[in-house]
Structures are given as structure tokens and as C-alpha cells.
Structure 1
Amino acid sequence: MGSHVDGRADLEVVLPRSGESIRWVEHGYPSALARWHHHIEIEIHLIRKGRGMMMAGDGMVPFDSGQVSLLGSDVPHNWISELDPGEVSIPKRDVACQVHPERIRALARIFPEAGRILTLLRRSGQALVLSGASARRAATILIGMGAHHDLDRLIDLLAIFRIFIQAPRREWMTVVTPGYVAEAPDGMTERVNQVLAYITAHIADRITLEEVAAQVVMSPSAFSRFFKEAAGINFSALVCRLRTARASLLLVTTDLPIARIQSLSGFGNAANFNRRFKMETGTTPRAYRRAYRH
């Protein structure tokens, strides 16, 4: 499903431990690391538990436990979890490893056998997501990498790359539009994250341009221009896509009646819900649920 806000995300400086080129990290949600951000390093990322929306570049897809992704250099990304009633955090939600792409290029220059990894890295600019048996194998290796160092960690990294390269077509997808380039004016990072946080928190409510503009201390007209430049789509289109992503997730992961999902996703009536959902996904909410449950 297409979507959302691209723009300039926070730059994260990745610092592996001394003597290591592959950084391994785990963290919970919420976390200072769980935000809209980018870095030059290639990242392999596992969502160990929880469900919600993955945002990468100009794309957005629902995620569930076990999702494994490969994100290319400087692809902005974030995962926003749906917290259950009374739930305030998800400990150790994320596991990731990061490596500078030049390390991989240097390896391929010395070992021609690694040439297919360079092709994989070019594809990773579209944010690759694994599913099925491929995702399960990659997740097991990525989790185990935390206890490994030196040569064992390098072997783990190459093994995960091999899984992405050899994954059957039915077990991988891309999230980002081909040719996507993140461009935005300086100083927008904080405002973009404020907008995303506000919309996510109020997705079931009526959300107006005026309300969100006030959150970032801008006039509605200035905010509208700013947002169009940052996202490449207008504000109402972003809200619609976020609502559709919420509905898609609830349709697949819950048994809630479709009328209730319509309400929780912020669609005012059934006709509008069906029309907007079909416009974004190509199918109706009922057909979408049926397709993903078979």
C-alpha cells in the first residue's frame, strides 16, 4: 500500500564498538531509537513482537511479529506499534544490525563471489521485507548475532544476506517507490515527527488541517505548503492513508466487526470507508480480510 511522509528524518550516527564494523542492537518501544530517522548504514531489522505500521521512504505497510526488513543506506524509516489497552510499552520489541555499505563494497571488490550482495544492496533502497520461512530463518540468525562477535558475527551477516538473495518471490516485497529520493527543507524533522505523533494518537477522531498546523505553530496555509513539499502529497491524503493502514491492520489481526474497525480508523461512514479503502488498496475491507486470512 502506498503512503506517507518522506522528508528529512533525524540523522542517526551509528557507532559500533571498538574493533567491530557490525553493530547489533535491541530496544523496546517507545524508545529514543524508535523514531523517524535515517543513517548511511545498511540495516537489517526484526520486529520481535507487536503489530502496527512500518514507514519507510514514501511507503507504509502493516507489520506483525516476526517481520524482517532490509533497509538501504539513508532510507528514512520508523515502526509505530499499536499498544493494547493498558499497555504502555513493548520491551525488546526491536532487534537490528547495521553495517556501513562501503564495508560490503570492499568485500565484493576482493571476493567476486560476493557480487550478488551488491545487487541486493541496490534493491534495499526500496526497503525489502521478508515473510514466511525466509523471515523466520533470518530472525533466528539476527537474534543469535547478539551473542556473537568477530568472525561469527560476520558469518551471521552473510547468512542473512543469502536468505534475502535466495528468498522465493512470494516471501519478499518492497515498500519504497523505485527512484525515491528523500528531499526536504532544513528544520523540518521535529515538525514531521510531531505531525506523525499527533495523527497517530488521534487517528480515530476527526482531524483537521487547522488543528495539526497549530501543533507545529504554523498557519494552516503555510503548513499546507510545507507539508506538500515535505511529503509529496497533501495533508488529507496522508491522513487517509494512515487511516487505511490502521484499518488494514485491524482487519487482519483482529476479529472486530468491520463497522467497529471503520470507527476506530476514523472513517465517518461505511460508504466513505469502503470508497477510500478500495482507492488505497484496490479492494474492499471485507475482501481484504478474506484474502489475508486464507
Structure 2
Amino acid sequence: MPSTRRRPPRQRHPELERDFVRTPALGYEDVDGSGLVRCLAHGFPSPLVRWHFHDEYELHLITHTSGRAFVGDWIGPFEPGHLVLCGPRLPHNWISFDVPEAGAPERDLVILFNHDPIARAAEQIPEMREVLQLLDRARHGIEFFDMAEAARMHWEAVRGARGMRRFAAFCDLLCDLSECTDYRLLSAVQMQGVQAEAQVDQINEVVNRIMARVNEPLSLAGVAAELGMSESRFSRFFRRATGNSFTEFVSRVRINSACHLLMQTDCFIADICFQVGFSNLANFNRRFLEIKGMTPSEFRRQAESRFGAG
């Protein structure tokens, strides 16, 4: 008699890109002399086109072809001029659809850089602190608009320089990105700035509670009571800090958790609905469509192609 046991969920985790694979044969600069910043140029197809993440920030400019981009739990179209800054360990991939038979010799211009040197410099150099908010936003992936030509010029300036001139060219790029106001965040929920340090700690505590208990019933009244606040005060505080009402924020966190399960497991959609805290499948499907612009099944189907298949 055949077994009726359900097979365990299949995992689909992104690949960690390690530095030893970054060879000039793949389009990377030689590490000697590159300093804080490392440039990369490659075409499509390429071994570098896969669902992956790494410890560095990555500024990614598409110069040729169009297709579908995957940044964290965001899925959307791209075309030449698409410019995205991904933060450390944010999974990403770009799959081209309209590739000539001979391939595209140049598709991607990339700049990689580490967080710690910039953060340490900002402790001593006040001017460097201007970029910290940009780097914080990059945790979600930032798509910049109408910056393609400037980004290419910055890439060429950084690629062609060495020493202090290279660092100066990189700082010029960071300034332009920091000052750009025409952008959108791509993955997960957005946190807005909170001024006082005590408020930062408090809102972080609230968000951590939501993330840890995403599958449990959560009410504004209950969380407000845990923090010793009235409901009205907590509601104002939460909206000011996150840009969302408490209910909307919880929904977005739950949908974000659902996206990860849809991408990384074979769990049934109905099971995922309850795993992330929704009590009604119809409501889950409706909220998913509102927030992600597609149904859970369509999201899973599109997410499959982040590996480059289909």
C-alpha cells in the first residue's frame, strides 16, 4: 500500500556568494588596488546570474535587455536603466527574457562595497553620516528612477580611478544616491525615522514582538497595554514611527513572512495562510493581492524563475 505521508517541504534558499569566486574571468576587478570599492561588469547569460546574496552592498545598473527582477520578496519588471541598491545579505537576481541569440556581452554594471569602513568613518567624519540613512534603506532594496546615465558615469569614474581619487569618485556617487528623492523601497515593510534614542528602542521592541509572534493574534490594545500606553497614544506613536497603522503594519509583516514561505518551501498556500497569522484564507488572498499586486499562487509561480529557469 503506498505511503500517504506528505514529503517534507523542499528548501529553496539563496546561495551565499563568497569572495574567492570573484575572479577577473567573471568580470570582477582584481582585488589588488580596488580598496573599499569593487567594480564588476558582465553580460547575460553568466554564471553570476543566480539567486544569491553576499555581505556587501551592491549597486546594480542594467544597461541592456529586459526581464524580471527579484529583490528579497519583491518581483517586478526591469529594462535598461533599472538601478537598484541592495543591502548586505538581501537576496537578489535579474533574469533577462529578450536576449539575442549570441547573448548580451554587457548587461550589468555593478559596484560592491562594505558597511563597516563607512560606519567607522562616520563616527569621526560628520560629513559621512549623510549616507547612513541611505544605507539603512538599502536593507529593503532601493530602486532609483531617472539616474541611469549619471550612475553609468559614476561607475566609469570609479572604475577608472585609484587611491584617493577613486574614493572621491565613490563619495560623489554616494552623495547623488543620498540626495535622490525619486525612489522606492522594494522588499518588506518600511520603517521611517524616529528622532529620540528612547523612541528608537521602543519601536524596535514593538517590531521585534510583532516579528516573533507573527502567527499569534495581535491587537493594538494588547500591545499598547504591554508597553503601558493608552491605545490612542500608542496608535499615534506607531503611525509616526512606521508610516502605517498598527493593523496595516501587522498585515504587511505577515504577508512578507508568507512571501518567504512561498519562495522557500512547498507548503500549501492554505497552510501558509494560518502559519503567518491569518484566520481566513479569503482575507489572506485579498490582502496578498492588495500588497503584492498578484495572488499567492502567481507569486510562487513567478518566484520559481529567480533561479533562471522558465
Aligned length: 194
Q: Report the alpha carbon displacement of residue 240 of structure 1 after superposing the two structures with TM.
A: 5.7
Give the counterpart letter for 2:175 in structure 1.
Answer: R
Which residue of structure 2 lines up, in the alignment, with residue 112 of structure 1?
A: 126
Distance (whole Å) between structure 2 residues aligned to residue 13 and residue 159 of structure 1: 28
Counterpart for residue 173 of structure 1: 184
Question: How far apart are the structure 2 equivalents of 1:135 and 1:172?
Answer: 13
| Equivalent in 137, 141, 155 of residue 168 of structure 2 | 155
CA deviations over 1:1-50 (Å, ceiling 9, x no partner): xxxxx963111123661342211111111111111110110111111111
C-alpha separation in 1, matches of 2:163 and 2:111:
14
Which of 210, 217, 224 matches 2:266?
224
**Residue 130 of structure 1 pairs with residue 144 of structure 2:** yes
Structure number with bigger Rg: 2
The match for 1:67 is 82
Give the TM-score normalised by the residue count of structure 1.
0.58
Contact 1:224-1:235 within 8 A present in 2 as well = no
Equivalences for residues 1-294 of structure 1 within 5 A: 8-14=13-19, 17-19=31-33, 20-84=35-99, 87-132=101-146, 134-168=147-181, 171-178=182-189, 224-225=266-267, 236-239=297-300
Q: Please, which runs of 5 or more residues in structure 1 have no aligned partner?
A: 1-5, 182-222, 244-265, 267-294
Aligned counterparts of 1:226 and 1:45: Cα–Cα separation in 2 = 34
Change (3 A) 1:104 1:7: farther
- Specify the code of the residue in structure 2 equivalent to 1:152: R
1: CA distance, partners of 2:187 / 2:174: 19
1:30 alignment partner AA: P
Q: Does structure 2 retain, via aligned residues, the 8 Å contact 1:68–1:139?
A: no
Q: CA deviation at 1:136?
A: 2.2
Distance 1:136 1:35 in 2: 26
- Secondary structure (helix, strand or coil) at the match of 1:49 reads coil
| Higher RCO (CA < 8 A, seq sep 6+) | 1
- The alpha-carbon deviation at position 225 of structure 1 amounts to 2.0
Flag as ranges the 4+ runs of structure 1 deviating above 4 A. Answer: 226-229, 232-235, 239-243
CA distance in 2, matches of 1:119, 1:110: 17
Contact preservation (8 Å) 1:66, 1:139: no
Say if 2:157 and 2:166, in contact at 8 Å, map to a contact too: no
RMSD of the alignment, in Å? 3.3
Return 5+ residue gaps in structure 2 as ranges.
1-10, 23-29, 192-207, 209-264, 277-287, 289-294, 305-309
Deviation at 1:53, TM superposition (A): 1.2
- In the TM superposition, what whole-angstrom CA distance separates every residue of 1:121-172 from its partner, at most 9, and x where no partner exists? 000011111111x33212221133222222222122211211111113xx21
